[in-house]
Chain A
Amino acid sequence: MRIASTKDFLAGILFAAFGVTFAAVAATSYAQGTPARMGAGFFPLVLGLLLTGVGLAVMARGLIVAGDGLPRVRLRPLLSLLAAMVLFAVLLRPLGLLVSAAVLVLAGSLSSPEFRLRDALLLAAALSVGAVLLFVMLLGLPLPVWPSF
């Protein structure tokens, strides 16, 4: 059978998957209680079932009503943004904000197709110093600035 709108069909699957998961966990792991004394699982179970229903409806419409197919996906920008974030999270504790912010900016800049090394280096220096000045010096947020081993 041909799927009329891949986009809708996939969105429906996503909703239904979330709905089933939330509902199943609520039904098996948390107390339902009685209506007068709702347990921890009551509301999530109701919502989970509702979301499953909505998901199935979206899927059904994706099968019948013509719509958009899946857009082209290039994962490189997203993946390198994620990699930059993970690097920052890993480096922040040992190396401090100054270094990890510079690394984040450099690594993040690689996600752009228009990457230029010189600009990226300058930007990394400016933003990491700026971040320390703004967030730590001016606003007093408790972030480690310098490397500590």
Chain B
Amino acid sequence: METLANLELGFSVALTLANIAYCFIGVLLGTLVGVLPGLGPVASVAMLLPITFTLPPDSALIMLAGIYYGAQYGGSTTAILVNIPGESSSVVTAIDGYRMARAGRAGPALGIAAIGSFFAGTISTIAIACFAPVLSDLALEFGPAEYFSLMVFGLIAAVVLARGSLLKAIGMVVLGLLLGLVGTDVNSGTARYALGFPELRDGIGFIALSMALFGIAEVACNLEAGQDRNVTAQRIGRVLPSLNDLRISAPSILRGTTLGAVLGVLPGGGALLASFASYMLEKKVARPPRTFGHGDIRGVAGPESANNAGAQTSFIPMITLGIPSNPTMALMIGAMMIQGIAPGPTVMSERPGLFWGLIASMWVGNLMLLVLNLPLVGLWIRLLKVPYRLLFPAILLFCVIGAYSSSNSVFDIYLMGALAVLGYVFVKLDCEPAPLILGFILGPMMEENLRRALLISRGHAETFVTQPISLGFLIASVALLAVLVVPAIRSTREEALQE
């Protein structure tokens, strides 16, 4: 019953005219940017962050959430129509979706993606409403030692699930933690690693960092590689899937939703892992299996439901614990901080309107996606044809204005330039930037919790293993790392994460 009352409060916030409008704009902008090739959800959210600076906190978060799942859906549209996944989580959608598009069945592919996503979104909204308060209450019991170990576990899980080399991912996390420490140490007032710049006393601007890594560096690499893409799907066909399509897809949607909702909660999980896992599962259970890879609608329905469910439930650790499970959630936490909200379990009790409003708006946003996207497919296709040379200057402009506006100083533009060079080097050396941004957000929090835990225990590090919850997290972290050393599991991971 309490859940219902909470949801009612949520809808009363989400359904104000202003917030419906912001949700709508968010979903629309997110889809628009997500459809454009070469811009994934992380880049979209980073790029569009500045437009939420002047909004009230609940509207800002509602809009950002809208941008996030809009971009997610937009990426799938691109994957189906042009075989260029706008983001890694729609890589598997491209396999069967693009085949369907080439066979003139782009319409049903897009339709089933939208329907599956909406179903998954609805279920995961309910899941969030049921589980978030439980987790929030649990987290309120956490002391600094538990928090510190939880963050260790979160970072290790993120590393294990990152693509590419495990060692490099660990390196990126640690580098991110260190970059997060730049700036004035809250305890002693020492300005650390400020290199004599007064601006760096406030730390490295997180907008500048994320735009540099996910915006500028990406653009530079795209320009270098040269773009060649052609929209092959001329005929979209009926957008509404036939009854038969629905009948075949329904079990896949159900399985995808369940799998996605569970995997989304895991740190480092979220949409990417969910869609891959769902595709592998569908391929295994499909009878007959041979149509997979040749335009099987189940290969679109499952992963698309899974990635949307995962995208939604990845909000759970973010909003209840203040711990990001993927780079987009790191951006959301950054946005909360910009709005003056301290992320963590207290958000639910102190700002129930914001907490439940955001959850309710997710469902509203998913409904909008469904209503909006099917009629607008024609528009998205036209957008796909915008050449990159007209696109990237706009990205560049959004990035510099965003960097400037985050502190109202040109220093952040120079900083972004410097970090973009670093980001470019990372791309060239095959170092995924996602773990770095997670570390960056968690750096100061980890240090603070470590400091407090050691203060309470009078300097005894055993505190992390003598407290059961903390010990549990640490054991889970070690187990995760150990598991990777086992060759069989390692190769499965590589198989699952390869593109």
- Where the two chains meet, the residues of A that have a C-beta atom closer than 8 Å to any C-beta of B are 7-8, 10-11, 14-15, 18-19, 22, 25-26, 30-31, 34-40, 43-44, 47-48, 50-51, 54-55, 57-58, 61, 68, 70-71, 73-74, 77-78, 81-82, 84-86, 88-90, 92-93, 97, 101, 104-105, 108-109, 111-116, 119-120, 123-124, 127, 131, 134-135, 139-143
Contacts and interface: CB of A to CB of B under 8 A. Distances in A.
Given A82-B420, A112-B388, A44 B178 contact: yes
Given A25-B193, A31-B188, A82-B420, 19 more contacts: A7-B430, A15-B175, A34-B459, A38-B187, A40-B187, A40-B190, A61-B167, A73-B428, A81-B219, A81-B220, A81-B396, A85-B400, A109-B393, A115-B389, A119-B389, A127-B397, A139-B54, A141-B53, A143-B404
Given A7-B430, A73-B428, A89-B400, A141 B50 contact: yes
25 contacts: A11-B168, A25-B193, A36-B457, A38-B450, A40-B188, A43-B451, A44-B178, A44-B193, A54-B170, A77-B219, A81-B420, A82-B421, A89-B413, A89-B414, A90-B410, A97-B401, A105-B396, A112-B392, A115-B389, A123-B393, A127-B394, A135-B51, A139-B53, A141-B405, A142-B405
B406 to A, nearest CB: 10
B396 A142 contact: no
- Majority-rule SS of B interface residues: helix
B454 interface: yes
A71 B446 CA distance: 36
B400 A88 contact: yes
A26 to B, nearest CB: 8
A89 B175 contact: no
- Majority-rule SS of A interface residues: helix
Contacts, number: 192
B223 A89 contact: no
Interface residues of B, number: 64
A140 B50 CA distance: 11
B458 interface: yes
Interface string B353-392: 0000000000000000000000000000000000111101
B393 A70 contact: no
Interface of B: 50-51, 53-54, 165, 167-168, 170-171, 174-175, 177-178, 181, 185, 187-188, 190, 192-193, 216, 219-220, 223-224, 226, 387-390, 392-394, 396-397, 400-401, 404-405, 408, 410, 413-414, 416-417, 420-421, 424-425, 428-431, 446-447, 450-451, 454-455, 457-461
A51 B175 contact: yes
B396 A44 contact: no
Contact of A88 (B193, B216, B413): B413
